[in-house]
Amino acid sequence: MFELARRNHNNSVSNYNPFREMEELERNFFADPFGSFFRSSDLAEFKTDIQDKGDHYLLEADLPGFQKEDIHLDLNGDVLTINAERKSQHKEEKDSYIRCERSYGQYARQFDMSAVDTQGIKAKYDNGVLTLTLPKKQQALPESKRLEIE
């Protein structure tokens, strides 16, 4: 089980450069020195943990501040999509805000469910954490039979 459509911001395949991260940090800092404090790219994707518990997988997704009604789980074939949307009050009450740092919008991630028995998936949302219990597909045992000789 793995995540589908993982985003890679550096699409080029190039030679190893041990200073690349430092150069990128410097470039980002001087381009927008305080931007990371007010716009976090970490919010563009919610964080998940996936554990193998033997007979099932346990997926935990951090979705603090969301209402249960605003989280949608869609299964299309072997792809599970977790969608969450946080609506903003900022637009309606724009004049009363001094600072608005919390992010609003729609967030989505997709996961491969080809190793999961999708009929038995259970979901729970409690204290900002979405927990999915994903039972593993049972491996079909090879059928044993005696062959007749002609």
Q: Average pLDDT of 25-33?
A: 65
DSSP 139: P
pLDDT digits (tens, 9 = 90+) for 120-147: 999 999 999 999 999 999 887 778 888 8
Dihedral sign for Cα atoms in the order 30, 37, 83, 94: negative
Among residues 72, 64, 52, 49, which one has the least CA distance to residue 127? 64
- pTM reported for the whole predicted model: 0.63
The Cα 17–Cα 35 span in angstroms is: 26
Strand residue runs (E) in the chain: 3-4, 48-52, 56-62, 71-76, 79-86, 105-112, 122-126, 129-135
Identify the pLDDT of residue 10: 46
Identify the pLDDT of residue 91: 58
Looking at the predicted structure, is the pLDDT value of residue 92 above 50? yes
